[in-house]
A and B are shown apart, each in its own frame.
Chain A
Amino acid sequence: AAGVIQSPRHLIKEKRETATLKCYPIPRHDTVYWYQQGPGQDPQFLISFYEKMQSDKGSIPDRFSAQQFSDYHSELNMSSLELGDSALYFCASSLGVLLSLDTEAFFGQGTRLTVV
């Protein structure tokens, strides 16, 4: 079965550069979530989208922005990168938002971002 696809899998950037991470949800899924996981940390929620509209926002830095496109894929844009942004970034997708439906979210394999 098709899963959540994230690209690239690995990314190395220098400080102050920008990065764009992409997420392709499971077909027919309309909700996308972004998470950041630093070394030795648990995944932290960044932001989510439902039907191309932002549905919730967590501890996402102002330097980061995201959107969901008409084909439901999502992109996380990160500017003025800092060393502390080095982390695993996971995307998840679900059919409908978790609160309102008996549904589950599936995660991609993540993008490992290294800022040097």
Chain B
Amino acid sequence: DAKTTQPPSMDCAEGRAANLPCNHSTISGNEYVYWYRQIHSQGPQYIIHGLKNNETNEMASLIITEDRKSSTLILPHATLRDTAVYYCIVSYNTDKLIFGTGTRLQVFP
């Protein structure tokens, strides 16, 4: 199963950048890093995914280290609506998403 490590919780002031780290030291060369979030019992929401290059979309940026053993999800201007549990997921040679415990991000005013 997937082995990613994330801090259990983080705080961020509204309007500031939220940087959520993830360690995935056993990732192999063809495995993608996915980020999802879940806002209070809603369905997990896809944010972004990447292989080795940094990625950016309208929601966030994903920075993957050169050795691919860790990554950081960046929400450039956090809002109260970004309060959620953020999951970093690596497929680890399976065709499914295995959710770990995630990071509970609290955005405060």
Interface residues of A (CB under 8 A from B): 4, 31, 33, 35, 37, 42-45, 48, 50, 55-56, 58, 88, 90, 92, 97-100, 102, 104-110, 112
Contacts and interface: CB of A to CB of B under 8 A. Distances in A.
Contact of B95 (A42, A99, A106, A112): A99
Q: What secondary structure prevails in chain B residues at the interface with A? A: loop
Interface of B: 32, 34, 36, 38, 41-46, 49, 51, 87, 91, 93-102
- With most chain A CB atoms within 10 A of its CB, the pick from B38, B49, B96 is B96
Contacts of A50: 95
B100 to A, nearest CB: 7
11 contacts: A43-B99, A45-B97, A50-B95, A98-B32, A98-B95, A98-B96, A99-B94, A102-B32, A104-B49, A109-B43, A110-B42
